[in-house]
Amino acid sequence: MTPKLYYADLSPAVRASLLTIKALGIEVDLKPVNMMAGEHLTPDYLKMNPFHTVPTLEDGDFVIWDSHAINAYLVGKYGKDDALYPKDLKKRAIVDQRMYFDCGIPISQSIRHRGVVVKRRRENDWKRQGRCAYPRLVTNNLFIVRQIIECLKKGMSYMSYTFLETLLERNTYVAGESLTLADLSIVATVSSANALVPIPSNRFPKITDWLSRMQALPYYGEANQTGLDKFVGMVKKQTSLIIMAPIIYGSSFSPPVRSVYLTAKALGIELELKEVNTFKGDHLTPEYLKLNPLHTIPTLQDGDFVIYDSHVINAYLVGKYGKDDSLYPKDLQRRAVVDQRMYFECGILFARLRTTVFPIIRQGAKAISKENAAQITEGKNGLSTYRGNTRSVVLTLNALGLEFEYILVDLLVGEQLKPEFLKLNPLHTIPTLQDDDFVIWDSHAINIYLAQKYGKDDSFLSYRRSKKGGGP
């Protein structure tokens, strides 16, 4: 008689058994259990398995549940050899130990048979005995539980992932140099955890390599990936949110922080604000300096990627989450104009605002000086760019191997204020680039435009990418 497996492939435990079945090459009658509809709570199912869990294996008149026990049973009865679960006592003890590690570590405590979408009850239900809460999948009052995700991050990134990385530093697989049940169990759990809290490859290279080996198994896609995709898809569909909302460090007091909020709202995405009180020195703490050594706000953390400067953050958000490029066009000339206006904002407008406001909020000044007020309202004394910025464009042109015509603008005699130049560049700054009928100014915007249009690769733009984990 063909064994029957009662299953719901959203469950990592079920997928561990499906992987084992495929690895053994045996035929099993798969019986789906709709847990959302309560099929695991029917009298017939409870009679078979009073713990009402999946997977449950029925082999003739024998019934067993718990994926680890099921997998060991299947190898013992149907395996052609003992490779997946050795008979040698010492080797088997190692495999057993790794499987107990799988069911006992915080990853499994939080992922197996739980899910991440819950109906909130009491505030103190989020954490119990140092573990993540035990949420239930429900169909009403759905929302992403950031507390659970944070609990997962702490439990996995600082404990469970580290433990697994240590195991894999010694062996190719988690229990030795060959594939065992321990790998099949743990990969189902870790792949689910990775979908919720991505594993930083630079921090956990052994886990990353091991996952690649597991994903290369001929039966991995059918036995694990299919159910994993359903799990992730269900969570995203039910919540209509990205599982891990990007975190923005800052304060609504800051104009650059507010600009990021405006961008996020325009994109229709959620950001989690972590308040940074610069008046109290929150931006100078070791934790924040590790995240952003320039100790500025805003700082964006999106998974294991960290970036700062509001203009770069906004461009990144549009590139990753925008439905189209209307806020930050891909067209080189239109993007160059947007870049130029953003550099104008950071180099002139915001700089003058900061100079004006700083004496009031930091030094106790009672009024804005006439000189600062004039710079803001009239835009005097600072619209012209230093000639050093012109030299940066010349260096870029030479580095790209481009021929160009250099037209000297003598600032000392006011050539930048002539009608011809003002028509070309109403801000009367240098450098100004004319490329056929396209005109752009600000050295940063010019250099980016040149590199994107004429560069053989993107090496000149690599400075715009922040390292994972922060740092320029």
Catalogue the active-site residues. Answer: 11
Number of neighbouring beta carbons within 10 Å of residue 326:
10
DSSP state of 117: B
Measured CA angle at 194 (ends 293, 65), to 5 deg:
150
- Position 255, amino acid: P
Detail the DSSP E strand segments found in 94-231: 127-128, 131-132
How do 131-132 and 127-128 pair as beta strands?
antiparallel
| Residue carrying the six token digits 């060991």 | 72
- Rounded CA-CA distance 364/381 in Å is 25
216's tokens: 């290369």
Evaluate whether 250 touches 297 at the Cβ level (below 8 Å).
yes
Size (the chain), residues: 472
Task: Give first-to-last CA distance, the chain, whole Å.
Answer: 64
Residue 57 pairs in a beta bridge with 5, 64
Nearest to 299 by CA among 320, 321, 282: 282
Task: For residue 335, give every residue at least 6 positions away whose Cβ sits within 8 Å of its Cβ, in sequence order, or none.
Answer: 328, 329, 448, 449, 452
Instruction: Look up tokens 């009672």; give the residue.
Output: 366
DSSP per-residue string spanning 151-167: HHHHHIIIIIHHHHHHH
Paired strand residues for 302? 305
Question: Alpha-carbon distance 156 to 192, whole Å?
Answer: 12
Alpha-carbon dihedral 457, 459, 461, 467, rounded to 10 degrees: 130
CB 173 within 8 A of CB 180: yes
Three-state DSSP class for residue 40: helix
The SS3 call for residue 403 is coil
What are the structure tokens assigned to 66, written together?
């718990």
